[in-house]
Amino acid sequence: MPMDAAKIGLERTMDALRGLLAERFGLELSKGSNSDDPLFAVGAGLSSLEGVEFLCEVEKEFDLEIKDLEWWVYETPTLAAVAQHLIDLTNEQRQHAS
């Protein structure tokens, strides 16, 4: 069953993202690490290819489609920004379903 970012909130969504990064890419981002550090390059260290793989994993885990790929690629997302984006997308999806 997919996770619901809006229901679990920002902190638990970030925890789930940390888990995905650890499981899939071997990146250990502790709760004490800065959630505003970029996920790519100098931040967490994901390459662009790993970033796309992470995007796919996030979409599967949360059963969402992230259509704004320019944001994902060019805005250098942070853990907190991705978590908030997932919450916003979940809320949008709910509104469209009603």
Give the contacts of 64 (CB within 8 A, at least 6 positions apart): 5, 58, 86, 89, 90, 93
| pLDDT per residue as tens digits for the range 3-58 | 999 999 999 999 999 999 989 988 877 676 667 777 876 667 788 788 889 889 99
Looking at domain 5-97, its CATH superfamily turns out to be ACP-like (1.10.1200.10)
Least trusted range by pLDDT, from 6-10, 57-61, 64-68, 78-82 = 64-68
- pLDDT at residue 32, rounded to an integer: 63
